[in-house]
Amino acid sequence: MTGAEIGFLVRERFGVGESPVWDGDNGRLLWCDIPAGVIHAVEIASGARRRWAFGEPVPSFGLAQGGRLVVALRNTVVLFDPETGARELVARVEHAKPEMRLNDGKVGPDGAFWVGSMDGSGDGAPAAKLHRVAPDGAVHVVAEGIAISNGLAWNAAGDRLYHSDSRGEIWLDCWDFDAVTGAVSKRRRLREHDEAAGRPDGGACDLAGDYWSAGPSAGRLNRFSAEGELLDWVDLPIKTPTMPCFGDADMRTIYVTSLDSKGDEGRDGVARLRVDVAGVPVGRFGA
């Protein structure tokens, strides 16, 4: 993408910086450091920082009703109050292998928390799944046989769900989506990626119907059409981008988290760039 103005919101090294979430009510960006088990927040206007530690990995989270967050931990999903620190168990997720944990998660237009798991065993039989966690705690398995579940995002109409596997076969799929019931149908393959183009990590959608995908193996942010055609990409100052998130009052700033660049000085943190088309706001758990 030519002419994109790219900079940093935060220049800091995280173990695995992930799951950026725009909190418009408070004018701040939140994200997590998975292995540190910490959720970070920055108020964009003032630069004020906050952090909350959970004592175990925090793979992903989303906004919830009442100013709370819905947070994925290793094998549980909880509601968390940032002001009081109170936690409430929503659901427990069973994993097929002891080393597995939850991974990429987002709140869908149906008000449920959609969260996948990851299987890093490499034993040739990937056991990760994609789950739908309803506000009442019911857990439904949507897809199985995944290595690392990633890339969750919905289009503006709320009738299309994107999902990827960023290891194993490396693919990007989409489903038709019912925003009232959360039902999915007509799953189809949009792309099969290679490492050179950037394996599909976290994703986000814009109002024009395009899908933005972090490509950590290529150090770039890819923009795909609704049918999976590569339209453009942005070479980023962070070495290993993990997920994009649209934010700011006009939803035209993309924030991108990154994981530890392993000694490549100055290429860690949260990058940001301005784009022409606004992003799709993400839902709230329980809405």
Say which CATH number the domain at 207 has: 2.120.10.30
Catalytic residue, chosen from 110, 201, 206, 268, is 201
Q: Is residue 1 part of a domain?
A: no
pTM: 0.96
Q: Is residue 287 part of a domain?
A: no
Q: Is residue 40 part of a domain?
A: yes
- Residue 81 annotated as catalytic: no
Please list the residues that pair with 224 across neighbouring strands. 211, 230
Instruction: Give residue 120's pLDDT.
Output: 83
Q: Is residue 94 part of a domain?
A: yes
Full residue range of the structural domain in which residue 14 is found: 6-274
Q: Is residue 90 part of a domain?
A: yes
Q: Is residue 282 part of a domain?
A: no
Tell me whether residue 51 is annotated as binding.
no
Tell me whether residue 144 is annotated as binding.
no
Instruction: Give residue 245's pLDDT.
Output: 98
DSSP string, 178-198: -TTT--EEEEEEEEE--TTT-
d(CA 275, CA 253): 6
* pLDDT tens readout for residues 249-274: 999 999 999 998 887 778 899 999 99
d(CA 171, CA 175): 13
Tell me whether residue 103 is annotated as binding.
yes
| pLDDT tier for residue 287 given thresholds of 50, 70 and 90 | low
Domain count of the chain?
A: 1
Q: Is residue 285 part of a domain?
A: no
Tell me whether residue 195 is annotated as binding.
no
